Amino acid sequence: MHRLIPILSLALCIAAPGAHAAAKVGEPAPAFSAVDSHGKNVSLGDFKGKYVVLEWTNDGCPFVKKHYGAGNMQATQKDAAAQGAVWLSVISSKPGAQGHVDGKGANKLSKDRGATPTHVLLDEKGDVGRLYDAKTTPHMFIVDPDGTLIYNGAIDSVPSSDPADIKDATNYVKVALAEARAGKPVSTAVTKPYGCSVKY
């Protein structure tokens, strides 16, 4: 009988499903809530029924400067707004690190740059960033109205810090939003983001 026990227990151990991954295209986007630059609590769940674009940003990062300096990010925000999408800029720089700002600083940045995000989320602990495994600034995500993640990756197809490259690049966020809105599957749903490391 003693000998039987290990055999029985070995024979009947049930296969385990795979461990869950943080943010995966095609799966529900991880829920989060964070405080925005006006001190308001914002949750992903607040925007059910709308497309949500998440943009990781850091105003000191040359790659972010490339896209804001050339007006590309602002144009992408306007394009998203025109499609009825919510735009959340997330700042995950820890205090003291490049790009870390308080609410006032974040609002001033938006004003100075002519940026029009729906909210700027202050994520100085990096929780939302880690939840999405945001690696670079910029790093873009799109959540569809059902809460499913439909895009994860770079802002566009030419990894460089040179604004001159923007005109020849495919803007993945614009393309993905347009495709999804037209009821088509997103043709390029996962790309490797490029930019500065997120300053966790």
Give the burial class of 121: count Cβ atoms within 10 A of its Cβ; 0-12 exposed, 13-18 middle, 19 or more buried.
Answer: buried
Q: Which of 50, 113, 130, 174 is in the footprint of another protein by CB under 8 A?
A: 130
Nearer to another protein, 75 or 158 (CB): 158
CB 90 within 8 A of CB 58: no
Least Å distance, CB 48 to another protein, is: 16
Number of residues that bind another protein (CB under 8 A): 57
**Nearest residue to 158 via CA among 86, 72, 99, 97:** 72
Beta bridge partners of 152: 141, 190
Q: Is 78 in the site for another protein (CB under 8 A)?
A: no
CB 90 within 8 A of CB 55: yes
Alpha-carbon distance 141 to 152, whole Å? 5
Q: Is 60 in the site for another protein (CB under 8 A)?
A: yes
Least Å distance, CB 46 to another protein, is: 13
Q: Is 19 in the site for another protein (CB under 8 A)?
A: yes
**Interface residue list for another protein (CB under 8 A):** 1-2, 4-6, 8-10, 12-21, 24, 30-34, 41, 60-63, 97-98, 123, 125, 127-128, 130-131, 133, 135-136, 152-153, 159-162, 190-200
